[in-house]
Amino acid sequence: MYGHTWNANTDGDFSCERSDIKAVCGDFPAILGLDLGELELGGERNLDGNLFTYIRDAAVKHYERGGLVSLSWHPRNPMTGGDAWDTTPGTVATILPGGANHDKFMGWLDAVADYISTFKDAGGNPIPLMFRPWHEHDAGWFWWGVKGPSTPEEYNALWVMTWRYLREERGLDNLVWVISPNETGQFDTWTSAYPGDEYVDVVGFDCYEFIGPEESFEVANERYVANIRRCLEFQTEFCKEHSKVLALTETGFEGIPCPDWWSSALLKAVEGFPISYVLTWRNASDRPGHFYGPFEGCACADDFTENFYKSGKTLFLKDLK
C-alpha cells in the first residue's frame, strides 16, 4: 500500500504490485499487517491515511497471492474522544455491559464487523484474517492497558465481549484471534490478562529494539536478542501447555541504524524457536525516519538479502503470476 518513499493513497497507483521488500529481495513479505484504526469514526481513511477500500483490496490481493493478513486496531478512546494512546483511567469499564459507553462501543464493533465481512476472494468466500486487537496491553500506553487504564479482569471481559460479538452475533468465523502483550517480561501479567483458550488461537508478543545515546549496536542488539529469547522461551512453553500457535507479532528497530541488524539481531533472536511468523512494523512514507523494513538503497539492504532472506531459515511470498 505504501513504502518509504511512495504511497498509493496519494499517487493513485492501486495495483498492489509495489513493495519495499520485493524491491530489495525479489519476493513479497509473507505477512501483510494492516490497521483498522479510525474505522469506528466512519471516515474513508484509517489513522495513517490509508483508504479503507484500498486496505481491503490489498488484503484480498495478498491472500490470493498466498500470503497471510494480520489486522490490528488502534481505535480512538471511546470515553474521551482522544486517540488510542489516551490512557484516561476507567475507559474500559465504561464500554463493558452496563457502562455509559457500551452502546456506542458496540456500534464501533458493528462497523468493524460490517467492514471485515466485505473481505472476500474472487469466489465470494471470506478470506482468513489474523485479528489482533487490544495489543501491548501490559504496557502503559493504550487505553485498554492493564496497568492503570484498566485491570486484567476488565481486559479479559473486553476481549471476550469482542470475540462473542464478532464470532457469535455476527458469525465471523474467518478470524484467527491473536493476542500480543508487550515485551515487559512481566509474565504474571501476561497470564492474568489472557481471556482464555477458547477465545485465542495465536499467542505472541511485541518487542522493539532501542538504543541509548552512548550505546554501541553490539550492546543494544545483545539486549534485544536476550529480551526476545526470554519472552519466546516463556511463550513457547505457554503455547505447548495451551495448544496455541506461537508468533513474534511485532518487532523492529526504528530507522534500522545498524546495517547488519537482520542477521546480528533479528535472526539471532528468533533462531531455534517454533515461531509461525514475524511481523516487522511499517515503512511510513510521510515520516522518513519511521521505517522497520528494508527499502532500495537503505544501509541494511545487503544484509537483509544476503544474510536474512537467503539464510535458508526464512520464508517469503513468491509472486507466481
The site for ligand BMA (CB under 6 A) is made up of 35, 37, 47-48, 74, 281-282
Kindly tell me which of 177 and 291 has the beta carbon lying closer to ligand BMA: 291
Kindly tell me which of 47 and 166 has the beta carbon lying closer to ligand BMA: 47
Strands 68-72 and 245-252, how do they pair? unpaired
Kindly tell me which of 77 and 264 has the beta carbon lying closer to ligand BMA: 77
Q: Report the nearest approach of ligand BMA to the CB of residue 99 (Å).
A: 26
Kindly tell me which of 37 and 78 has the beta carbon lying closer to ligand BMA: 37
Q: Report the nearest approach of ligand BMA to the CB of residue 47 (Å).
A: 5
Kindly tell me which of 94 and 182 has the beta carbon lying closer to ligand BMA: 182
Q: Report the nearest approach of ligand BMA to the CB of residue 115 (Å).
A: 16
Find out whether 73 and 36 touch, Cβ atoms under 8 Å. Answer: yes
Q: Report the nearest approach of ligand BMA to the CB of residue 121 (Å).
A: 25
Q: Report the nearest approach of ligand BMA to the CB of residue 43 (Å).
A: 15
**Amino acid identity at 248:** L
Find out whether 138 and 147 touch, Cβ atoms under 8 Å. Answer: yes
CA dist 220 and 222 (Å) reads: 5
CA dist 306 and 175 (Å) reads: 35
Picking from 84, 42, 35, the residue whose alpha carbon sits closest to that of residue 58 is 35
Q: Which residues does 310 contact at the CB level (< 8 Å), separation at least 6?
A: none
Residue closest to ligand BMA when measured from CB atoms: 35
Q: Report the nearest approach of ligand BMA to the CB of residue 312 (Å).
A: 31
Grid coordinates given for 321? 503470476
Kindly tell me which of 239 and 298 has the beta carbon lying closer to ligand BMA: 298
| Sheet-wide strand order for 68-72 | 31-35, 68-72, 129-132, 175-179, 202-208, 245-252, 278-280
